[in-house]
Amino acid sequence: MESSTFFNIFAGLLVFPALLLLQFAPLNVNAADADPLQDFCVADLTKDLYLNGYPCKTPAAVTTDDFVFDGLTAPPQTNNSVGASAILADVDTFAGLNSLGLSFAKLDFAKGGIIQPHTHPRASEIIYVVKGTLYAGFVTADNKLFARVISKGEVMIFPRGLIHFQLNVGDAPAQAVVALNSQSPGFQTISSALFGSNIKDEVLQKSFLILDQKTIDRLKAIFSGSK
C-alpha cells in the first residue's frame, strides 16, 4: 500500500469519530449578557454611537460616583391608574452597570396596586418582598400558571422572557426589590403591547374573539395614552 493511501485512511479514522462527537455534542449557547473584558466599563452615555451596549468612559474619567446610584431613594409614586410604581436602575440610569450583566429595581404598591403582566425579553428576575403581601406568578410557554402569595422576606423567580405579574393583596402598602441578570432587561407590558401599538383592529378582534369595535377603540385609547 502506498504511503499516501495509508495516510488518507489513517486520517479518516481520526476525523470520523471527531465528526460524530461534534454532531451529538450539546450546543453551548450564551443566553445572558456577554462577560466583561476588563474590570469595569462605565457607560459613556454622551457618545453618539449605536452599539450592543455602550462604549466605555476613559478609565481616567471614572469616579466612585459612577458606581453609586441614589435613584431608588425617590419616594414612591403610586397615585396612578395601576396603584404601583417601579424605579429601575439599569444601564440607562446607572452607567456603572455597563457590561456587568445586571440591573435592579424597587417596586412600590398601594393597597390593591398591580405591576401588570409583562415580560423582560433579555433577563430573568428574582423578587424579594420587603414589606406587605403580593400575589405573584408567571405563565410558561405552554400556558401553565405558577403563582402564589408571597410575603415579607420571601423571594420568587421569574424565568427570562415569560409573562409575569405582582398584585398587592394585603391590607396595606407593599414594597419589593428585584434583581435582573441583564444591564438592559427590557420591559414590555402585555396590554400596552397589544392595544397601544397600533395593531390592526381585525387582528385584535380575531385574537380575542368577542371584542366589538367600540371595545377595541376604548382599549386602544387607554393603552395608547390618548384617553
pLDDT in tens, 111-170: 999 999 999 999 999 999 999 999 999 999 999 999 999 999 999 999 999 999 999 999
**In terms of pTM, does the model score above 0.85?**
no
Distance of CA 147 to the CA centre of its chain: 18
List of E strands, 13-120: 84-89, 103-109, 114-119
Give the mean pLDDT of 188-206: 88
**pLDDT at position 67:** 96
Radius of gyration of the chain, Cα coordinates, nearest whole angstrom: 25
**pLDDT at position 29:** 46
Classify residue 211 as exposed, middle or buried by CB count within 10 Å of its CB (0-12, 13-18, 19+): middle
Grid cell of 190 as nine digits: 402585555
Q: Which residue has the higher pLDDT, 63 or 12?
A: 63
Provide the 8-state DSSP code for 97.
G
> Does the pLDDT value for residue 44 go beyond 90?
no
Nearest by Cα to 74 from 99, 57, 55, 93: 93
Number of neighbouring beta carbons within 10 Å of residue 19:
9
